[in-house]
C-alpha cells in the first residue's frame, strides 16, 4: 500500500515536533527552505499540519496568514521515504481547503518546486505583486537580497 492511501492529515501536536524538525531541517541543510528551531515550531504549532502513516510523521506544512485575503504555505517538507507518493499534494490541498473555510482568497507559496505547485493548481506571479507579504523571514535568509525562489499563487474562490 502506498503512503498516500494510508495517509492521515491532522493538526500538529507537541509529540510531533521532533519529527517535524528533522524533516524540515533536512531540506534546510540543502538550501531548499529556511531552517526552523524547536522554539519556532513550538510557538507556531497551531499553524502546522502533519501527514502521518500510522505513528510516523511523513510530511509537514505550515500556514501563515499574511493579510485578510492572503495566506502563505510554509515549511512544506516530505520525509525521504514518502517522496513521490502524493503526500505533498495532500498537505497543500488540505491547507487550500483550510483557507477556503477561513474565507482567505489567495494562497502563496515561495518555492523552488515550480512543477509541483503547478500540479496543485498554483501559477507564477511577480513577487512585487504581493505587497501584503511580510518579508520578516527573508531578513534572516542568506539569499537576501538575491532571492531566487518563485512566487506562486492559488485562488480559492
pLDDT band at 57 (very low <50, low <70, confident <90, very high): very high
CA 55 vs CA 3, 88, 107, 108: distances in Å: 12, 18, 29, 30
Q: Which residue has the cell 524538525?
A: 21
Binning pLDDT at 50, 70 and 90, where does residue 129 land? Answer: confident
- Angle CA(98)–CA(99)–CA(104) in degrees, nearest 5? 155
> Which tens digit of pLDDT belongs to each residue from 71-121?
999 999 999 999 999 999 999 999 999 999 999 999 999 998 999 999 999
Measured in Å, how far apart are the chain's first and last C-alpha atoms? 34
C-alpha cell recorded at residue 29: 541543510
Give the confidence band of 131 by pLDDT, cuts at 50, 70, 90. Answer: low
For the entire predicted model, the pTM comes to: 0.87
Q: What is the pLDDT of residue 3?
A: 44
Closest by CA position to 85, among listed 51, 56, 118, 54: 51
Q: pLDDT-based confidence at 50, cuts 50/70/90?
A: very high
Amino acid at each position: 500500500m502506498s503512503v498516500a492511501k494510508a495517509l492521515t492529515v491532522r493538526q500538529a501536536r507537541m509529540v510531533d515536533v521532533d519529527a517535524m524538525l528533522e524533516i524540515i531541517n533536512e531540506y534546510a541543510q540543502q538550501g531548499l527552505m529556511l531552517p526552523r528551531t524547536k522554539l519556532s515550531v513550538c510557538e507556531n504549532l497551531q499553524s502546522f499540519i502533519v501527514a502521518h502513516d500510522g505513528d510516523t510523521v511523513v510530511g509537514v506544512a505550515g500556514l501563515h496568514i499574511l493579510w485578510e485575503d492572503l495566506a502563505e504555505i510554509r515549511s512544506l517538507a516530505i520525509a525521504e521515504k514518502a517522496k513521490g507518493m502524493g503526500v505533498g499534494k495532500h498537505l497543500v490541498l488540505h491547507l487550500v481547503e483550510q483557507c477556503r473555510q477561513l474565507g482567505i482568497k489567495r494562497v502563496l507559496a515561495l518555492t523552488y518546486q515550480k512543477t509541483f505547485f503547478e500540479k496543485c493548481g498554483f501559477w507564477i506571479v511577480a513577487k512585487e505583486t504581493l505587497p501584503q507579504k511580510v518579508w520578516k523571514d527573508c531578513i534572516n535568509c542568506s539569499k537576501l537580497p538575491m532571492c531566487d525562489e518563485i512566487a506562486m499563487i492559488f485562488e480559492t474562490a
